[in-house]
Amino acid sequence: MRASLFVTCLGDHFYADAAASAVRLLRKLGVEVDFPEAQTCCGQPAFNAGRDAEARRMAVHTIEVFRESEYVVLPSGSCACMLRRFYAHLFHDDDLSGQAADLAGRTFELAEFLVRVLGVTKLGRGLEGRRIAYHHGCHALRELGIREEPLELLDSAGAEVVPWEAAEECCGFGGLFSVSFPQVSAGMADRKLDTLAAEQVDFLTSADCGCLLQLSSRLRKRGQDLAVRHLADVLWEAAGADS
């Protein structure tokens, strides 16, 4: 089986180690992974800003870059959602609608790919004794229906996923939303973090870089010393890391 890594903009600039963990994990599970170097932004910021023409140009490029990929795997529920759900909007009455649908059918967020495509629910016991808070990103949860997959992988690795009242609430990032409405964005993150007993967990994790940036930033401003880690890094640890 072959898969192409779509690293995403935030993954490339802020979570390169997580992207590397995703590659190592996939290869450990027998997947042949490549990295098309011509990949760029998926177009989601432009799409969210209502600039469909610009988003469409980036989507056309992405469709071409991953045309030959058997699967496209992203360490991001948000960008996976852009390819799988929102490209259909950009090309709904267009000759490229078929190609967009074809790419959508081959696109998966990392944990989703492991469970739904590879049929892997146990990676190892590398998280024995770890207490973890999991944040469900909005696009992964509400647009792609990914809820149990990451939790199952963490649980089977020996971790205790600590119940969290606001685990499924938006963190307030939302890409351009956090830029346009910074005070509302910060308030949403603070409300979410107020429900987390941070001292009772070892770290917080999620599958989306934007959410991790938002929550880690608010934690620092609140003076809370809680580690925030990308799910790809945590799953690589679950698999036994360098074993």
The pTM for the full model equals 0.94
Dist CA 167 CA 28 (whole Å): 30
DSSP state of 84: I
Q: What is the pLDDT of residues 97-123, one digit of tens each?
A: 999 999 999 999 999 999 999 999 999
What is the structure's pLDDT at 242?
Answer: 57
What is the structure's pLDDT at 93?
Answer: 83
pLDDT at 76 over 80: yes
**E strands, the chain, in order:** 2-5, 32-34, 72-74, 107-109, 131-134, 160-161, 203-206, 227-230
Mean of pLDDT values over 48-66: 96
What is the structure's pLDDT at 176?
Answer: 85
Residue 142: which of 120, 168, 160, 118 has the closest Cα?
A: 168
42 contacts 62 by C-beta, under 8 angstroms: yes
